[in-house]
Amino acid sequence: MSEPTAPAPAAAAPLLTLSGVHTHIGQYHILQGVDLQVPRGGLAVLLGRNGAGKTTLLRTIMGLWQASAGSVKFDGREIGKLATPDIAQAGIAYVPESMAVFSELTVRENMLLAARNGPLDEARVEWIFGFFPALKKFWHYPAGNLSGGQKQMVAIARAIAEPRKLLLVDEPTKGLAPAIIQSLIAAFRELKETDTTILLVEQNFSFVKSLGDTVAVMDDGRIVHAGAMRDLVDNQDLQQRLLGLSLDSHQ
Ligand SMILES: Nc1ncnc2c1ncn2[C@@H]1O[C@H](COP(=O)(O)OP(=O)(O)OP(=O)(O)O)[C@@H](O)[C@H]1O
């Protein structure tokens, strides 16, 4: 008689699940039934051409646009109707494309403003310096004097000044020189080994193909592909079909 086999462990529930999400901006119907799952841990990538709806999706998750239909579940809880501060409090941080930093304030002061619960945690600051050594160097300099890549680092550091479960980052490589992109890759590689799950919006496939664990591709307000990044990297036909020339031109 064979030994009874233990049941296979259930797959961990995703950290974030969007189901049938529609978002209207004024008269425009932008998100047209988005279904997306972000697994807990690691780095999920969202790709798509200009105007596909990627930023609108991040803003909808963050409550900056209200979904007109569908559900947004985060860590087992429906957050689709919550206000942005409550969504942030639930553990989601958002780094918009515009690298929101206060130019007149020093890097340290920028970080201080991001700490919701009082003074900066010194140990956490040291931990952040590990990802972004440039911030240590320019800690007492006005953030406005930093390069584009360094400002991007300040924006990300602000978002993780306090522990977060999910970090949404919108096109961090936009307009950055290749050398700076390399240092961002190194930082994201370190960051994805921590407890923070990352959802990264990009158009630069060469930046994300070595970073992403999973990938979703968006077009015309819908997810048209979702799977392991490995599978997309290994399949050039799929890349060509899904990403086309507009993305290839960024490589
Ligand atoms: N405030 C707005 N008012 C009207 N239409 C908008 C607004 N913001 C975005 N849109 C439209 O929504 C669509 C999706 O835009 P979105 O910025 O989400 O795309 P994206 O995939 O992030 O593109 P990109 O890579 O260019 O940033 C586009 O057609 C855009 O013109």
Lowest mean pLDDT among 66-70, 97-101, 197-201, 213-217: 97-101
Q: Where are the domains of the chain?
A: 16-91+164-248, 102-163
Mean pLDDT (whole number) for 34-38: 97
Protein residues whose CB sits closer than 6 Å to any atom of ligand 1: 25-26, 28, 30, 48, 50-56, 203
pLDDT band at residue 199, thresholds of 50, 70 and 90? very high
pLDDT for 233 equals 93
The answer to whether the beta carbons of residues 62 and 68 sit under 8 Å apart is: no
CA dihedral (160, 166, 168, 172) positive or negative: positive
Cα separation, 154 vs 144, in Å, equals 11
Cα 31 to ligand 1 centroid, rounded to whole Å = 10
Predicted confidence at residue 69, as pLDDT, reads 96
Dist. CA 105–CA 199, nearest whole Å: 28
- Interval between CA 57 and ligand 1 midpoint (Å): 10
Per the CB < 8 A criterion, the answer to whether 184 and 149 are in contact is yes
Per-residue pLDDT band for 106 (boundaries 50, 70, 90) equals: very high
User: What ipTM was predicted for this assembly?
Assistant: 0.93
Structure tokens at 25: 């901006």
Q: How many C-beta atoms lie closer than 10 Å to residue 117's C-beta?
A: 7
Decide if domain 16-91+164-248 falls under CATH 3.30.450.70. no
Neighbours of 139 (CB within 10 A): 14
Q: Indicate the pLDDT class of residue 11, thresholds 50, 70 and 90.
A: low
For the four alpha carbons of 84, 86, 92 and 95, in that order, the dihedral sign comes to: positive
Question: 120 CA distance to ligand 1 centroid (A)?
Answer: 35
What pTM, to 2 d.p., does this model score? Answer: 0.87
Minimum-distance ligand 1 atom for the alpha carbon of 59: 18
- Report how far ligand 1's centroid is from the alpha carbon of 30 (Å): 8
The neighbour count for residue 49, using CB atoms within 10 Å, is 16
Residue nearest to atom 28 of ligand 1 (CA): 51
Task: Indicate the helix (H) or strand (E) that contains 97.
Answer: none
Q: How far apart are CA 186 and CA 170, in angstroms?
A: 17
pLDDT band at 7 (very low <50, low <70, confident <90, very high): low
Q: What was the pLDDT predicted at 185?
A: 85
pLDDT at 251 over 90: no
Q: For the segment 138-175, what is each residue's pLDDT rounded down to a tens digit?
A: 999 999 998 888 888 898 888 888 888 999 999 988 87
